[in-house]
Amino acid sequence: MKYLIFTKKIWDKKNKDIIKHKRFIRKSLNVTEIKKIKPKRLFFIHWSKIISKSIYSNYECIQFHCSNLPKYRGGSPVQNQILSGKNKTKLSGFKVNGDIDGGDICVSKNLSLKGNANDIYKRIESISLKEIHKLTFKTKINYKKQIGKPSFYKRRTPSLSKIPSYLNKLEKIYNHIRMLDADTYPRSFLELKNFKIDFFKTKKKKNKIYGNFEIKKKK
């Protein structure tokens, strides 16, 4: 069975599942390429762009979203759940339709939100690829309607990476830093007059936070 996997970035290039699926992975949604390959199914991991009707109406499209859908639909689900105090959630695989993160569910797996964002994204990637491997062997996939009242969240902007002054607990400050600690992601920061201090690779031990920081002059 022919299929394609779309992901903006590979988080763990050494993962055996990545190596196994590498020839099927694409970083951009090229319609011409899709038509030439004629895949039966398209899979989307870490995908934030809208998938057009011309794609999902002609191909079986399955997208993975880091939440127990229909909760936390929309952007930045990892960060929004950590801010809500969650340390575990679900990874949901759903059939793409015209509603954002609103399609029927075919995969629901436990997902830990511990560690920094880089760790979590690798975890999402690994689980998604294992489930894709299973789904490619199925002639027909069983889907179930999403149950419950949906909740929606907007994608976070870089300005929201600034550590809020109202955070009054060390755990909350640590969560703010770790949820943004991923390659190419807008790091958590503080401002000091003409300087900006970025924080990354942090760990919390008892009543202290350890890690790296970078100080640079504001542009």
The CATH number linked to 172 is 3.10.25.20
For residues 84 and 19, membership in a common domain is answered with: yes
For residues 148 and 211, membership in a common domain is answered with: no
For residues 92 and 191, membership in a common domain is answered with: no
Domain that holds residue 192: 158-217
Q: Which residues of 190-201 are buried (b: 16+ CB within 10 A; e: fewer)?
A: eeeeeebebbbe
Task: Give the pLDDT confidence score for residue 131 in this predicted structure.
Answer: 97
Instruction: List pLDDT tens digits, range 10-35.
Output: 999 999 999 999 999 999 999 999 99
Last residue of a domain, one of 121, 153, 185: 153
Number of folded domains that form the chain: 2
pLDDT beyond 80 at 1: no
pTM of the model: 0.94
Task: Give the pLDDT confidence score for residue 219 in this predicted structure.
Answer: 80
Residue identified by tokens 């038509």 is 35
Last residue of a domain, one of 114, 130, 153: 153
Residue pair 181/193 in contact by the 8 Å Cβ criterion = no
Task: Give the pLDDT confidence score for residue 173 in this predicted structure.
Answer: 96
For residues 132 and 81, membership in a common domain is answered with: yes
Residue identified by tokens 């999403």 is 146
For residues 106 and 24, membership in a common domain is answered with: yes
Q: In three state form, how does the secondary structure of the chain look?
A: CCEEEEECCCCCCCCHHHHHHHHHEECCCCHHHHHHHCCCEEEEECCCCCCCHHHHCCCEEEEEECCCCCCCEECCHHHHHHHCCCCEEEEEEEECCCCCCCCCEEEEEEEECCCCHHHHHHHHHHHHHHHHHHHCCCCCCCCECCCCCCCEECCCCHHHHECCCCCCCHHHHHHHHHCCCCCCCCCEEEEECCEEEEEEEEEEECCEEEEEEEEEECC
For residues 205 and 122, membership in a common domain is answered with: no
Residue 80 backbone dihedrals phi, psi, to 5 degrees: -65, -35
- How many Å separate Cα 142 from the centre of its chain? 24
For residues 108 and 197, membership in a common domain is answered with: no
Task: Give the pLDDT confidence score for residue 206 in this predicted structure.
Answer: 87
Instruction: List pLDDT tens digits, range 138-180.
Output: 999 999 999 999 999 999 999 999 999 999 999 999 999 999 9
Q: What is the CATH number of the domain that holds 68?
A: 3.40.50.170
Task: Give the pLDDT confidence score for residue 4 in this predicted structure.
Answer: 96
Tell me how far apart the alpha carbons of residues 176 and 164 are, in angstroms, rounded to a whole number.
Answer: 9
For residues 166 and 182, membership in a common domain is answered with: yes
Last residue of a domain, one of 102, 123, 153: 153
pLDDT beyond 90 at 107: yes
For residues 8 and 35, membership in a common domain is answered with: yes
Tell me how far apart the alpha carbons of residues 37 and 34 are, in angstroms, rounded to a whole number.
Answer: 5
Task: Give the pLDDT confidence score for residue 218 in this predicted structure.
Answer: 87
For residues 207 and 121, membership in a common domain is answered with: no
For residues 13 and 98, membership in a common domain is answered with: yes
Question: Per-residue pLDDT averaged across 130-141, rounded?
Answer: 94
For residues 122 and 204, membership in a common domain is answered with: no
